[in-house]
């Protein structure tokens, strides 16, 4: 309880005051992946400039779902994805049209996840795109 936390010099976290980045950091440490993941707080296009071309194996896109903003994110990050690397995202119903346009222009395909095999993914409407 609270007394045990106080005895250890810790305070109960007020989850209502956490930032998105705070929650990201906690999840990365809880998952055991913190050593392999780089979290950057920046505008998407600015963050993409920090990485070398072809240096990203997997990119998860979760930004503005408006077509122009979504396409700008993909265009900014595409050079950083290695050949054979994956771009993942969610909210397929909101990004399907621009995702397919981008994929066609880059000789690949944007595909919704197979929710028949993974019905637990249905709510997120996940999608993938592999860089050729």
Percent of the residues in the chain that have a pLDDT greater than 70, as a whole number: 78
2-16 pLDDT, tens digit per residue, is 454 445 455 455 556
| Beta-carbon contacts of residue 132 (< 8 Å; ≥ 6 apart) | 83, 84, 106, 107, 108
Q: Give the tokens for residue 99.
A: 């995702």
Task: Using pLDDT thresholds of 50, 70 and 90, give the confidence band for residue 126.
Answer: confident
Provide the strand spans (E) within the chain. Answer: 56-61, 81-89, 110-112, 127-130
Q: Which residues pair with 88 in a beta bridge?
A: 60, 128
Mean pLDDT calculated for residue range 3-32? 65
65-108 pLDDT, tens digit per residue, is 899 999 999 999 999 999 999 999 888 888 999 999 999 999 99
Pairing of strands 81-89, 127-130: antiparallel
What does the pLDDT read at residue 5? Answer: 44
What does the pLDDT read at residue 18? Answer: 65
81-93 pLDDT, tens digit per residue, is 999 999 998 888 8
Q: Determine the Cα–Cα distance for residues 61 and 59; give it in Å rounded to an integer.
A: 6
Look at residues 90, 17, 19, 78 and name the one whose alpha carbon lies nearest to residue 44: 78
Sign of the CA dihedral running 105, 132, 93, 74: negative
């Amino acid at each position: 309880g609270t007394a045990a936390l106080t005895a250890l010099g810790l305070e109960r976290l007020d989850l209502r005051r956490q930032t998105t980045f705070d929650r990201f950091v906690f999840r990365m440490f809880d998952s055991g992946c913190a050593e392999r993941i780089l979290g950057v707080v920046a505008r998407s296009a600015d963050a993409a400039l920090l990485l070398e071309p072809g240096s990203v194996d997997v990119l998860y896109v979760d930004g503005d779902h408006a077509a122009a903003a979504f396409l700008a994110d993909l265009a900014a990050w595409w050079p950083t994805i290695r050949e054979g690397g994956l771009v993942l995202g969610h909210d397929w119903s909101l990004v399907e049209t621009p995702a397919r346009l981008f994929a066609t222009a880059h000789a690949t395909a944007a595909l919704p996840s197979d929710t028949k095999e993974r019905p637990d993914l249905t709510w997120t409407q996940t999608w993938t795109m592999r860089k050729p």
